[in-house]
Amino acid sequence: MLVCATTNGMSSKDDFAEGDKNLESETQDAPLRSEAASLQRGLAVLEMLAVRPDGATLRDITEKLQLPGASMLRIARTLVELGYLSRDERTKRFFLTNSFLLLGQPRATSRGLSECAISAMRRIRQVTGETTQLCCLIGDEMVILEQLLSVHPFKYSADLGARCPCYSSAPGKAHVAFLSAEEQETLVNRLQFKRFTAQTITSKRAFRIELERIRNQGYAVDRAEGLEGIHCVAAPVLDRHGSAVGSITIAGPSARIPEDEFESIGHVVREGARVASDEFNRQ
């Protein structure tokens, strides 16, 4: 009589059945692993271009990431088709588009922060005449989500998606001042201060004092702390819990936004931010 050897109570016939199941599972998992690899490569491309405002050619991308050119070409083309990358046909360079701004901004039900704030921004621009921007905190930096340019011939402007440190900008200070105490302390403790002008805040102690002042008055100012000759006044857009989800700021030359008008302009921007907050929190 032939006796089949068994392992842990499983016959050799069961071994074959289990092996077939494993092979089938591995075969089914193969496309998923391939998709995951493509996703990782796509994210690597996006992260690379996020710090390359001048864009990059396909060769730049493949050499930097050390990945196959054919694979990178397929991924780049897909990202262009989806609207997350653009390609300059003359220079053959790829660039990030502003589509990520729509993904990253806070949302109120089905409406993004930009949609909720745009009417208030128009009102602020109408009253002040200066470039009005909507910004959001990402990491330690403020990112411009929306912008209405000044009505003056000479105007301050920046690219959508442009970033600046939170400690050297009015919108950044306004946002951080209205974070929860725990979030604020965590952020302040990880900041690495860099001096941009003679007015830049360069210490945690000075920044905390500034945040307390902003919290009390409801708006923040930038006394040419990030760029020489440029003043800004900003106020936070708050969620229903009173925590900042973004901030609205005006920016322009110091000659048109002098320090002795910071308070009156601050009231205008603060009221506009309040209206935007109400719209953001409206059901």
What is the pLDDT at residue 15? Answer: 44
Do residues 66 and 190 both lie within one domain?
Answer: no
Q: Which tens digit of pLDDT belongs to each residue from 172-218?
A: 999 999 998 999 999 999 999 999 999 999 999 999 999 999 999 99
Q: Are residues 89 and 191 in the same domain?
A: no
Residue 197 sits in the same domain as residue 276: yes
Are 82 and 112 found together in one domain? Answer: no
Structural domain for 66, as ranges: 13-96
Q: How many domains does the chain have?
A: 2
Higher pLDDT, 196 or 70: 196
Please compute the mean of the pLDDT values over residues 241-256 and round it to a whole number: 95
Least confident window among 34-38, 119-123, 138-142, 250-254: 34-38
Query: What's the mean pLDDT when you consider all of the chain?
Result: 84
Q: At what angle do helices 69-81 and 58-65 cross, to 10 degrees?
A: 120
Instruction: Give the pLDDT of residue 106.
Output: 61
Q: Is it the case that residue 249 has pLDDT exceeding 80?
A: yes
Mean pLDDT in residue range 128-138: 94
Same domain, 226 and 147: yes
Could you tell me if 128 and 183 lie in one domain?
Answer: yes
> Would you say residue 5 lies in a domain?
no
111 and 86, same domain (yes or no): no
31 and 119 both lie in a single domain = no
Of these ranges, 67-71, 74-78, 137-141, 275-279, the one predicted with the greatest mean pLDDT is 275-279
| Structure confidence at residue 152 as a pLDDT band (50, 70, 90) | very high
pLDDT (0 to 100) of residue 230: 97
Do 215 and 127 reside in the same domain of the chain? yes
Give yes or no for residue 237 having a pLDDT over 80: yes
Q: Which residue has the higher pLDDT, 51 or 217?
A: 217
Of residues 224 and 95, the one with the higher pLDDT is: 224
pLDDT of residue 134 exceeding 90, the answer is: yes
Residue 1, domain member (yes or no): no
On whether both 107 and 84 belong to a single domain, the answer is no
| Domain identity same for 133 and 258 | yes
Share of the chain above pLDDT 90, in %: 52
User: Quick one: pLDDT at residue 52?
Assistant: 77
Q: Tell me whether residue 221 is in a domain.
A: yes
Instruction: List, for residues 80-105, the tens digit of each pLDDT value.
Output: 888 778 888 888 888 877 566 555 55
| Mean pLDDT calculated for residue range 7-11 | 39
According to the model, what pLDDT value does residue 25 have? 47
Residues 88 and 106 in one domain: no
In a domain, 4, yes or no: no
